[in-house]
């Protein structure tokens, strides 16, 4: 191995290679393969004149070598110039609102946005005198009509993490740019690997590292990305003012998971597609919500803007009673029943009790189930689904 920086002289190397070799600066690793876990509140400076020097590592809350290593690796994933770490994925979503909205501001939020982000808008942002307007994320360039002189931020998630609609992100970004409105994309579904919001014109991309990036279902963490220095300065100020902290142990855990992200995403993608295609033909299934399926309403946009699909998708059962839905979920042996996704293990949840919409009425005609396809062999997952669906067919 050479310098360990993983930077080639010419073109960019592939993500798997860059993630393997990112953050290998000897200052961060102290000659180990991995960065040191620098647990620190106090960071000692060399001399009195350096106590108030801007930009250095001067206090644990502002990060240590371990945090710097993680940031370097994450910037490889999102192809971003700047990255800030926060305590959770939810905080990565809420910080941009706090940074860019103000009393009297109007913010536009995709109607399929992650529930806790909506709750932040409805409960906390509203108390600060900011108005949240939800929009149907299939609106595309039509969002222009919703932008007011007071609009400060457009926030969206594509695809929605329970309903899987794909937004025309470049059209929304272009409309926002023309009116100087900051755009933020929650990029958690793609793990950052299959979707690059910054390259599609979005100002900010946020990622719940809790999910695919860490991949172990054992840590909560979030990151905020931008290529714009002024926007990052404002985001960093906000994070500093809020007193958010990521422990060095958590930063290390996320980085350790991220090393294998590209490999895992390929497996999640292939297995989920195999399972989705099988489910599509099953008599107990009414519909499969997966943007990589050719007849999915979001397929054309997905094909244009994404380089792949993760392991998270939805199915609509034909059976209609809650009792049947619960019986199906309870019969699953390999799918744990639990929130979150992106870990090594498969998960399932019933979505209906948490679906919220302001602009459109959702009518799937049956219960919506979300599956997170883990790293098990897809043939075993299919066999498990088959036995659990049998009573419904």
Ligand X SMILES: *Cc1c(COP(=O)(O)O)cnc(C)c1O
Q: Which of 163, 210 has the CB closer to ligand X?
A: 210
289: three-class secondary structure by DSSP: strand
Instruction: Tell me the backbone φ, ψ of residue 12, rounded to 5 degrees.
Output: -75, 140
Query: Can you say whether the dihedral through the CA atoms of 373, 378, 382, 385 is positive or negative?
Result: negative
- From the list 186, 203, 250, 296, the catalytic residue is 186
Indicate whether 220 belongs to the interface with ligand X (CB under 6 A). Answer: yes
Indicate whether 257 belongs to the interface with ligand X (CB under 6 A). Answer: no
73: three-class secondary structure by DSSP: helix
The least CB distance from residue 44 to ligand X, in Å, is 32
Using alpha carbons, list the distances in angstroms from residue 277 to 295, 329, 338, 367: 11, 20, 23, 19
User: For this structure, is 61 an active site residue?
Assistant: yes
Among residues 15, 75, 85, 93, the one that binds ligand X under rule CB under 6 A:
93
Among residues 86, 167, 185, 208, the one that binds ligand X under rule CB under 6 A:
208
Q: Which of 120, 388 has the CB closer to ligand X?
A: 120
- From the list 13, 25, 61, 280, the catalytic residue is 61
Tell me which residues in 175-204 interact with ligand X (CB under 6 A).
186, 188
Using alpha carbons, list the distances in angstroms from residue 276 to 261, 297, 312, 367, 371: 22, 15, 10, 17, 10
Using alpha carbons, list the distances in angstroms from residue 171 to 138, 144, 197, 201, 203: 11, 9, 12, 9, 13
Indicate whether 157 belongs to the interface with ligand X (CB under 6 A). Answer: yes
Q: Cβ-closest residue to ligand X?
A: 89
User: For this structure, is 303 an active site residue?
Assistant: no
Indicate whether 130 belongs to the interface with ligand X (CB under 6 A). Answer: no
79: left (phi over 0), alpha (psi -120 to 50) or beta: left
Q: Which of 21, 264 has the CB closer to ligand X?
A: 264
User: Residue 132 has which token pair?
Assistant: 């949240």
User: For this structure, is 211 an active site residue?
Assistant: yes
Query: Cα dihedral angle (229, 71, 311, 328), rounded to 10 degrees?
Result: -110
Tell me which stretch binds ligand X (CB under 6 A): 16-24, 65-73, 208-216, 343-351.
208-216
Which residue, chain included where needed, has tokens 């172990």? 216
User: For this structure, is 305 an active site residue?
Assistant: no
The least CB distance from residue 53 to ligand X, in Å, is 33
Catalytic residues: 61, 114, 186, 211
Site residues (CB under 6 A) for ligand X?
88-90, 93, 114, 157, 161, 186, 188, 208, 210-211, 220, 222, 340
């Amino acid at each position: 191995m050479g310098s360990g920086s993983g930077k080639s002289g010419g073109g960019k190397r592939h993500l798997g290679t860059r993630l393997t070799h990112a953050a290998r600066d000897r200052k961060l690793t102290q000659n180990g393969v991995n960065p040191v876990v620098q647990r620190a509140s106090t960071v000692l400076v060399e001399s009195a004149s350096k106590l108030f020097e801007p930009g250095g590592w001067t206090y644990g809350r502002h990060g240590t070598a371990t945090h710097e290593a993680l940031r370097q690796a994450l910037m490889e994933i999102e192809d971003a110039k700047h990255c800030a770490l926060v305590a959770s994925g939810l905080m990565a979503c809420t910080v941009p609102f706090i940074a860019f909205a103000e009393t009297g501001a109007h913010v536009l939020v995709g109607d399929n946005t992650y529930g806790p982000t909506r709750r932040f808008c409805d409960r906390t942002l509203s108390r600060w005198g900011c108005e949240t307007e939800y929009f149907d994320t299939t609106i595309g360039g039509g969002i222009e009509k919703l932008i007011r002189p007071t609009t400060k931020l457009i926030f969206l998630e594509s695809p929605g993490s329970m309903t899987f609609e794909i937004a025309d992100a470049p059209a929304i970004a272009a409309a926002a740019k023309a009116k100087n409105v900051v755009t933020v994309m929650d990029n958690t579904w793609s793990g950052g690997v299959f979707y690059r919001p910054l390259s599609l014109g979005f100002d900010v991309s946020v990622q719940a590292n809790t999910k695919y990036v860490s991949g172990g279902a054992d840590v909560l963490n979030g990151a905020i990305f931008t290529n714009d220095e002024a926007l990052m300065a404002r985001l960093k100020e906000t994070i500093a003012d809020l007193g958010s902290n990521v422990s060095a142990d958590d930063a290390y855990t996320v980085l350790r998971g991220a090393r294998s992200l590209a490999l895992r995403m390929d497996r999640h993608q292939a297995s989920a597609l195999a399972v989705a295609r099988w489910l599509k033909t099953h008599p107990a299934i009414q519909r499969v919500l997966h943007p990589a399926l050719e007849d999915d309403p979001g397929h054309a946009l997905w094909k244009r803007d994404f380089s792949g699909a993760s392991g998270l998708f939805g199915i609509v059962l034909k059976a209609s009673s809650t009792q049947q839905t619960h019986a199906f979920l309870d019969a699953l042996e390999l799918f744990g029943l639990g929130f979150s996704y992106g870990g090594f293990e498969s998960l399932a949840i019933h979505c209906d009790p948490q679906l919220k919409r302001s602009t459109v009425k959702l009518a799937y005609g049956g219960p919506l189930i979300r599956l997170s396809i883990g790293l098990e062999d897809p043939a075993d997952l299919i066999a498990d689904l088959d036995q659990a669906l049998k009573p419904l067919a």
